[in-house]
Chains A and B, each alone.
Chain A
Amino acid sequence: MIELKGVAKTFQRGDHVVRAVTSVDLTIEGGEFVTVLGPSGCGKTTLLHMLGGFETPTKGTVTIDGQVVTGPGRDRGMVFQDATLFPWRTVSANVAWPLEVNGVPKRAARLQSAALLEKVGLEKFGNAFPGELSGGMRQRAALARTLAMEPSVLLMDEPFGALDAQTREIMQEELMRLWQESDLTVIFITHDISEAIFLGDRVIVMGVSPGRVIEDFKVELDRPRTAEARNDPRILEYRSHLWGLLAHAPSSPSGNGSQIT
């Protein structure tokens, strides 16, 4: 179980203070799939970085199964907003890296990395360098590298943002399957309302200036969820509810103009 209590984060930018996240209280059960939706600059990435232990909250605490998070750990695997693959390693060497860190011998690591690449549909690209992949392929490779750590919590920051609509749906279904076959807890950031609904047990909506949670609601679509679920009439209802929330949320003056779709 992940618990956030009064979590806030401020950044100093020049002589003014940016309140990226203010006072977030949240409880996420083990095995849950939570999607986080919100306009650009509302603190989604900052929140995820605090869950990952990469950034420390200015106020409040993040605990996992009762333990206060003080730094990063393999139990929480992070897929960063734009893939942070090591450009000097081949794709398969990238995926093998966390295994090597854990002392897995090189050959065994390469075999496991090949299996992981197959899982994300990149089996043909093991010998390529990240610079040779498309944005979406890089995201998938980064996901494979994170899965290599065998985390119990998967933190994903807009992983499918760079994909075309079709690949995106395929990847969503793949992720759904992967999650359903495991006992992973997933916290998944997105700009895409349909994606948030289709994937999430729960959608958390954040608002901007200051960054905060403005809605936390349950998605009652059936599990296991397959492509069929996209035609569920309740989706329309959820969509218009979320649209309403986001349309009334003030947009960030410093936002980069990312669209809510």
Chain B
Amino acid sequence: MFGNLNSVLRERPWIISIGFAGVVLALWQYATIQSWFPDYILGPINIVAEFVAMFHRGELGDQVGASLRRALTGFAIGSGIGVVLGLLAGVSRVFRDLFDLTQAFIHPIPKIALFPAIAVLLGFTDQTRIFIIALSAFFPAYLNALNGALGVDPRMIWVGQNAGAARVRIFFQILLPASLPRTVVGLRISLMVSFIMMVATEVVGHSNGLGAGLMRAYEEGVYGEMYGGILAVAICGVLSNAALAMISRRLLAWQAIGGVQRG
């Protein structure tokens, strides 16, 4: 009988993950109904209800729009520059030496610590927030692209030189695709970091967006809206990550064929 159950679970592994999440949520809901928690902790059903109400009032759409624009702009700028500089550093000793020290100094600084310093220059503005997000998104993209480029078989580049291809063509048509599997790993980390920094920069100064909404809900003691906002942040993160995962699966479709196995 257990053998049967085992084989069912092996074929449909999602049953386990969904089942586990379901049990946790049910316990949580039960605990709030039984008032085991203080009443500022809402149960999952109440949170979803709150989320839906906020959505209908229209405030969520505005917040999500403002936040996503910030996060994705910062992500695009930071990770874009990160990938280009990382690949350049990967193939050129000069670039590597040029960036290495600066990179090593700035990388360990939690970027949020730079927020006040940048705010002195640009004020508590969107530019400051996007700058901080971009700076945070830069490092995972840079480091992974660098390692990706370092791992490229030099003979791949030689094939390009043999054909007399210009450097720009070799960069975009050989180096970039050859280091893409690793670069994409960096992009996914950068995206997650962008979302973290999005919320972090929005709770400070007069901002709009999800982070600001959370902070306001906290200050006004409307905890339902706070949880609704957190759920919105989570959903944005999951959906963006899924979108990026889908794009990279398409770009890396060749990788699934023969040769390299994906885990």
Which residues of A pack against B, CB within 8 Å? 52, 54, 71-74, 76-78, 80, 84, 86-89, 97-98, 101-102, 129-133, 145-146, 149
DSSP class of B's interface residues: helix, strand, loop or mixed? helix
**Minimum C-beta distance from A25 to chain B (A):** 25
Given A54-B158, A87-B259, are A101 and B254 also a contact pair (CB < 8 Å)? no
Interface residues of B (CB under 8 A from A): 153, 155-156, 158-165, 169, 173-174, 177-178, 180, 254-255, 257-260
Q: Are A102 and B258 in contact (CB under 8 A)?
A: no
* Contact in complex: A102, B156 (CB < 8 Å): no
Question: Which of these, B163, B177, B257, contacts A98 with CB under 8 Å?
Answer: B163
Task: Known A80-B155, A84-B153, A86-B174; judge A129-B254 contact (CB<8 A).
Answer: yes
Q: Is the CB of B162 within 8 A of A52?
A: yes
Q: Using Cβ atoms and an 8 Å threshold, which residues of chain A touch B259?
A: 87, 130-131
B161 close to A131 (CB less than 8 A):
no
Task: Specify which chain B residues have a CB less than 8 angstroms from the CB of A80 in the assembled complex.
Answer: 155, 158-159
Known: A84-B156, A97-B163, A101-B164. 10 other contacts (CB 8 A): A71-B161, A73-B164, A86-B156, A86-B159, A87-B254, A101-B165, A129-B254, A129-B257, A131-B258, A145-B159
Q: CB-CB < 8 A to B174: which residues of A?
A: 86
Query: What does DSSP make chain A's interface, helix, strand, loop or mixed?
Result: loop
Determine whether the beta carbon of B164 is less than 8 Å from that of A74: yes
The reply to whether A86 and B177 form a contact with Cβ atoms under 8 Å apart is: yes
Residues of chain A lying within 8 A (CB to CB) of residue B158 = 52, 54, 72, 78, 80, 84
Chain B residues within an 8 Å CB radius of A97: 163, 173
Across-interface contacts of B161 in A (CB, < 8 A): 54, 71-72
Which residue of chain A has its CB nearest to the CB of B256?
A131
Q: How far is the CA of A89 from the CA of B260 in the complex (A)?
A: 15
Instruction: Give bound CA distance, A72 to B180, whole Å.
Output: 26
Q: Cβ of A88 and Cβ of B254 under 8 Å apart? A: yes
CA distance A146 to B254 in the complex (A): 22
Residue in B160, B169, B180 whose beta carbon sits within 8 Å of that of A88 in the complex: B180
Can you list 13 pairs linking A and B with CB atoms under 8 Å apart? A72-B158, A80-B155, A84-B156, A84-B158, A87-B254, A88-B180, A101-B160, A101-B169, A129-B254, A131-B257, A131-B258, A133-B258, A149-B162
Q: Which among B159, B162, B174 has the greatest number of chain A C-beta atoms within 10 A?
A: B162
Residues of the A chain whose Cβ atoms lie less than 8 Å from the Cβ of B257: 129, 131-132
Docked Cα-Cα span, A131 to B158, in Å, equals: 20
Closest to B252 in A: A88
